[in-house]
Copies of this chain bind each other. A is one copy, B any other.
């Protein structure tokens, strides 16, 4: 295991300690086992709180997106493990100013159960809350079973758009509505070239041949659509785009944002090579790209591979996407 770490048991604790020490203006560590990260000035009076959570190992997701115009709190589990219900409940308490809390997270079984349980726990304390699940990975279930799909790059758009809406002091119903709208607007697909290693496991999560790739693989190494010889960048991008467009057709004149996201080891250079092709295809179709995101937004530690997300915009979503936000990993526009 080629990782820079101390005891694998302390991986998450030390990571969070470093994160909060580096950026105290964005992240405050509280809650059971210190697994709740909250905006230092939360809860913000009159503002709907947005809470997320999930496993560690995906920075900037989840914790990293706690910030202005983004999330108010996140509950963070071990690497690739859900946070516990009481951690999530504490994140919700921290985020609640009385205006209610949106639970906004990815559709993974363990997370759903714990977020539901947490919701029930704080409900008894009088905290009103709603849920929006991001389930954007088209490779994880067919269209008929959309509700079984897992969440991936779409989380980034949902965080940004819901965060901007809450920033404007919309009420819980409105924030929930746009969060759901953003989640519904996104489709994603991933591909991987090499696995990553969960520190506590000590060995790679899967094996794959020296000349192989897997199309449609999930961010924890969940099996995808096919595994075979590594293809050329343009072929890969073309297929990813095709899989997304088959699921959510786009037409001339549509405006979309595109997220070309590295799973960790894949360098920016390769993301730009891929983006180049994706843009050329969308150009041909008469589809306009707005605010493309090309970097590491949702990773699996040192996994090699990338995900592509397309978010279909309308005026409302575009406006919210372009609104200011500020966290250690992502800044849009300016707060003044």
Q: Which residues of A does B touch, CB under 8 Å? A: 2-6, 11, 14-19, 21-22, 56-57, 59-60, 64, 193-194, 210, 230, 232-234, 236, 264-276, 279, 292, 294-296, 299, 301-302, 304, 306, 329, 331, 334-336
Contact A304 B2, CB 8 Å, known A18-B275, A279-B18: yes
Q: Top 6 closest A-B pairs, CB basis?
A: A18-B272, A18-B276, A265-B265, A334-B334, A59-B268, A4-B270
Q: Which of A16, A60, A275, A299 has the most CB of B within 10 A?
A: A275
Taking a contact as CB atoms under 8 Å apart, the answer to whether B233 and A6 are in contact is: yes
Taking a contact as CB atoms under 8 Å apart, the answer to whether B5 and A233 are in contact is: yes
Question: CA A294 – CA B59 in complex, angstroms?
Answer: 12
Taking a contact as CB atoms under 8 Å apart, the answer to whether B269 and A11 are in contact is: yes
**Interface SS of A by simple majority:** mixed
Taking a contact as CB atoms under 8 Å apart, the answer to whether B19 and A272 are in contact is: yes
Question: CA A18 – CA B19 in complex, angstroms?
Answer: 31
Query: What is the CB-to-nearest-CB distance from A132 to chain B, in angstroms, rounded to a whole number?
Result: 26
Q: Which of A5, A232, A267, A276 has the most CB of B within 10 A?
A: A267
Taking a contact as CB atoms under 8 Å apart, the answer to whether B5 and A272 are in contact is: no
Query: What is the CB-to-nearest-CB distance from A287 to chain B, in angstroms, rounded to a whole number?
Result: 14
Taking a contact as CB atoms under 8 Å apart, the answer to whether B21 and A276 are in contact is: yes
Contact A276 B14, CB 8 Å, known A266-B4, A266-B302, A334-B335: yes
Taking a contact as CB atoms under 8 Å apart, the answer to whether A302 and B267 are in contact is: yes
Taking a contact as CB atoms under 8 Å apart, the answer to whether A4 and B264 are in contact is: no
Question: CA A16 – CA B304 in complex, angstroms?
Answer: 21
Query: What is the CB-to-nearest-CB distance from A294 to chain B, in angstroms, rounded to a whole number?
Result: 5
Taking a contact as CB atoms under 8 Å apart, the answer to whether B292 and A22 are in contact is: yes
Query: What is the CB-to-nearest-CB distance from A63 to chain B, in angstroms, rounded to a whole number?
Result: 10
**New A-B pairs, 13, CB < 8 Å, besides A2-B304, A18-B276, A57-B269:** A2-B193, A2-B210, A4-B236, A14-B273, A14-B276, A17-B272, A18-B272, A18-B279, A22-B292, A264-B267, A265-B265, A334-B334, A336-B336
